[in-house]
Amino acid sequence: MNPNIDLNAKTVNVYPLPLTYSYAEAMHRILSDKGWFTLPKSMLSGMTASCFRLSVHRQLHKDSPTAYNWMAEHTVAAELIGVIAAQSAGYQFAPTFPLYQQKAIRDIRKSLDQGTGAIVWKDQFVVITGYDDHKQIFYYIDSPTATDGLELPYTRLGRNESPYWYYQIYEGQFETEIPQMIRESFIQAVYKAEVHDPMLPESQYACGLLAYDAIEQAFISGIYDADGAYETFMYYAICKKEAASYTREACRNWPELEATARHYEHLSAVYEEITTELSLNQGAAACFRHTKLLDLVRAAKNAEAAAIQSIRLLLREPIENRFHDVGLR
């Protein structure tokens, strides 16, 4: 696939995206099976602030949705909903990897013995559901619709095409109040919109509201991964839809969120239009597609900026009390 694609000469290869797990989907599968979270996935995506994150590669590579600080964000995600989590990550080429691999195997088996699955990175987030010590394998599922477990030999745990390994297990719960969870999730939404992820080099990635400027520049220059752009927008369209659903539901506890809910609903509608434009066949006039996409990206930025501003107005005091780091908890 050629990453240097001219919008005026290249259309997206449209294909059904595979139903794979995002981190929030994998987390929801485990916690709902455990009985620790009984609300829809959109509520977990909102309460953990996962649906509010936006990070993109400046050439819109398909790794954009998973380009963020897993350790930091997943720790906060679990804490926000009152779950005690343990996790570890690193590079498989490190000389200490075999030691970490053995510890991961022990930790995951222990969690499974207690009736709790584990999240593992296997070039996407997957859920470990069981193991067979005699065969030295784990069983895992890699999509929300999967029922039969795939096999992962112990020796292959963490050995991915990408150089990273990661796992997270859940050890218990602590009491937290729904109003506080909702309030904190929207503070985190502001943080994700305004602060660049320090793990990502700014020369290659853009985060939050600044991601829209990077997307716009990619479309104007024509130097971007068309299939990656399609996958990225499909993923974030789901996130924006969940943000809208979550905010609308949160209005039941906090009616003052009504304006914010309308902004996110508008944002979700704009993302649907963007994915439709990216799916157009080659018969569409190139100049029309070029103008329409740029207009939609700018509309999305305005809608998201309006949503964040409305949250800032509602939570001005707690946000300002965190001085220069709104992400502090």
Give CA–CA dist 211/196, Å, rounded: 10
Three-class secondary structure of residue 5 per DSSP: coil
Three-class secondary structure of residue 106 per DSSP: helix
Let me know: does 319 contact 184? Beta carbons within 8 Å: no
Lowest-pLDDT range of 17-31, 134-148, 267-281: 17-31
Mean pLDDT for the stretch of residues 158-182? 95
Q: Residue 288: pLDDT above 60? A: no
Q: How confident is the model at residue 284, as a pLDDT?
A: 42
Give CA–CA dist 212/217, Å, rounded: 9
Three-class secondary structure of residue 61 per DSSP: coil
Q: How confident is the model at residue 277, as a pLDDT?
A: 85
For helices 178-194 and 286-314, angle between their N-to-C axes, nearest 10 degrees: 130
Q: How confident is the model at residue 278, as a pLDDT?
A: 81
Let me know: does 289 contact 7? Beta carbons within 8 Å: yes
Q: Which of 262, 261, 296 is nearest to 276 (CA)?
A: 296
- DSSP state, residue 279: T
Q: How confident is the model at residue 322, as a pLDDT?
A: 74
Let me know: does 218 contact 60? Beta carbons within 8 Å: yes
Q: How confident is the model at residue 291, as a pLDDT?
A: 81
Q: Residue 16: pLDDT above 70? A: no
Which sequence spans correspond to the domains of the chain? Answer: 58-64+180-321, 87-173
Token pair belonging to 323 = 């001085």
Q: What one-character-per-residue DSSP string does 174-191 give? A: ----HHHHHHHHHHHHHH
Q: Above pLDDT 90, what percent of the chain? A: 78
Query: pTM for this one?
Result: 0.88
Mean pLDDT for the stretch of residues 63-69? 95
Let me know: does 249 contact 28? Beta carbons within 8 Å: no
Mean pLDDT for the stretch of residues 85-102? 97
Domain 87-173, second-level architecture: Alpha-Beta Complex (3.90)
Which of the two residues, 266 and 145, has the higher pLDDT score?
266
Q: Above pLDDT 70, what percent of the chain? A: 89
Give CA–CA dist 124/23, Å, rounded: 9
Q: Which of 194, 150, 158, 138 is nearest to 315 (CA)?
A: 194
Lowest-pLDDT range of 14-23, 63-72, 175-184: 14-23
Give CA–CA dist 327/116, Å, rounded: 29
The per-residue pLDDT of the chain, averaged, comes to: 89
At 177, which amino acid appears?
A: E
- DSSP state, residue 17: P
Report the Cα 235 to chain-centroid distance in Å: 8
What number of other Cβ atoms are within 10 A of residue 82's Cβ? Answer: 17
**Radius of gyration (C-alpha) of the chain in whole angstroms:** 20
Q: Residue 217: pLDDT above 90? A: yes
